Amino acid sequence: MPYNVCFYYEGKNMTQTTIEKIAVSDGQEALICGWVYNKRSSGKIRFLLVRDGTGIIQVVIAKPELMDAFDRLTQESSVKVIGRIRADARAPGGYEMEATSIDIVQIADEYPITLKEHGTAFLMENRHLWLRSQRQWAVLRIRAEVIKASRDFFDGNGFTLIDTPIFTPAACEGTTTLFETQYFDDKAYLTQSGQLYSEATAAAFGKVYCFGPAFRAEKSKTRRHLTEFWMIEPEMAFADLDDTMQLAEDFIHFIIQRVLENRQRELSVLERDIEKLRRVKKPFPRISYTDAVQVLQKEGSKIKWGDDFGSPEETLLSSKYESPVLVHRYPTAVKAFYMKPDPQDPNIALGVDVLAPEGYGEIIGGGQRLDDHALLLKRIEEHQLPKESFTWYLDLRRYGSVPHSGFGMGIERVTAWMCGIDHLRETIAFPRTLYRIYP
């Protein structure tokens, strides 16, 4: 195994074994490098729970010469432990290690996070340590799987990864507040979406996607918002709204299958009801905005045609389905300036939002882009956007303009849904929220 630690012990060279793959070492001597998760003792026999980032194993200490080392160990002390691996039903995990050597790397100071309950304020203050907990381990491993599945999906379907800039000269969408920063003698803004640039790269590469952080300076203070979040955004030339809806459906379905296949242990640590994920089936329901408004009104909502959906409307609508629902053709007035109007009715835009089930809300927003130069120019003026900044964007409509469409998917929202957890802050290692930028 490459990149694993070696350790010279009693004339032998031991190579580090990961707890995840401990079964292959059954009956043999192995080296585990990790941290003390917990310890217990019962008279002359002691139990040490060691975690190494891939799992947790119980180490049994019966040799008298190891007792002193055991007694000195504190929670989260770092250790290298050598011992014989054997299956034992009494051990959490099914395998345990009978220690022959304990090499203490560092004795940890009194660890603030105990195995008892803590409040979220305290845990967030200690986010750098909270990451070591089982639950955070499971969530972030699922996040990694969501990202890997996303990239595999696009890479495997003819999309080229072309990343877009973080520093931008102006707003992508005039509506949202941007983080302003100094750019030498000028001002620059942190991007809130790579989409506009992906429209340029789509005209160069056909099918593209970008994956990176997005920044929104909105003073949103809810469990569904971060000021810094990660978004994956495909964009396709020669594609219309229906193509994009099909892509979104296939994409989400693919991610769910991957998570179910490869992250069973993590889902069970989180006690996720995986039946709810299994019940997601293609084709996903599709409903026009206009029909959705009627459904909502029938359910007692006070929404009127022309209003954008708020969080309560999203929850109400999506609760009627077991699969994500694709809501398409919104009023032009509530959507971004670059949305293409429906040729049948200019008051309607060819946009689509995907609402996840179980109240997880909007996970995807996208649609077909305006490809007409004159109309796009008019919209930029109507939205009072700085025209100079959009010269290049308008150029895309002058040189071989084509129907094109795409969407953006929020990694954290999808991860929260996969995990069945109720707050976005746990789906990213170091969340940035309205009132938190530490640690």
Partner RNA sequence: UCCUCAGUAGCUCAACGGUAGAGCAUCCGGCUGUUAACCGGAGGGUUGGGGGUUCGAAUCCCUCCUGAGGAGCCA
Q: Which of residues 380-409 bind RNA (CB under 7 A)?
A: 408-409
42 scored as a contact of RNA (CB under 7 A):
yes
Nearer to RNA, 313 or 322 (CB): 313
Among 20, 23, 28, 40, binds RNA (CB under 7 A): 40
* CB of 39 vs RNA, minimal distance in Å: 7
Distance CA 316, CA 309 (A): 10
Among 53, 158, 283, 310, binds RNA (CB under 7 A): 310
Distance CA 49, CA 41 (A): 11
Tell me, what DSSP letter sits at residue 177? -
38 scored as a contact of RNA (CB under 7 A):
yes
27 scored as a contact of RNA (CB under 7 A):
no
Among 139, 350, 410, 421, binds RNA (CB under 7 A): 410
Among 18, 58, 101, 198, binds RNA (CB under 7 A): 58
Among 47, 95, 130, 390, binds RNA (CB under 7 A): 47
Range in contact with RNA (rule: CB under 7 A) among 26-34, 183-191, 212-220, 263-271 = 212-220
* CB of 145 vs RNA, minimal distance in Å: 18
Q: Cis before residue 283, ω within 30 degrees of 0?
A: yes
* CB of 123 vs RNA, minimal distance in Å: 7
Binding to RNA in span 79-138, by CB under 7 A: 88, 90-92, 96, 110-112, 114-122, 124
Read off φ and ψ for residue 155, nearest 5 degrees: -60, -35
* CB of 186 vs RNA, minimal distance in Å: 26
Nearer to RNA, 287 or 416 (CB): 416
Read off φ and ψ for residue 232, nearest 5 degrees: -115, 130
Residue 398: how many other CB atoms lie within 10 Å: 8
Size of site (CB under 7 A) for RNA:
72
317 scored as a contact of RNA (CB under 7 A):
no
Binding to RNA in span 134-163, by CB under 7 A: none
CB 131 within 8 A of CB 98: no
Q: Cis before residue 439, ω within 30 degrees of 0?
A: yes
Distance CA 25, CA 5 (A): 16
* CB of 416 vs RNA, minimal distance in Å: 9
- Tokens for 385, please give them: 């956007």
235 burial (CB, 10 Å; 0-12 / 13-18 / 19+) is buried
211 scored as a contact of RNA (CB under 7 A):
no
- CA dihedral for 94, 99, 101, 107, sign (positive or negative): positive
Distance CA 426, CA 407 (A): 24
Nearer to RNA, 294 or 311 (CB): 311
Pairing of strands 404-410, 186-190: unpaired
Nearest to 228 by CA among 213, 238, 208: 213
Among 66, 171, 226, 274, binds RNA (CB under 7 A): 226
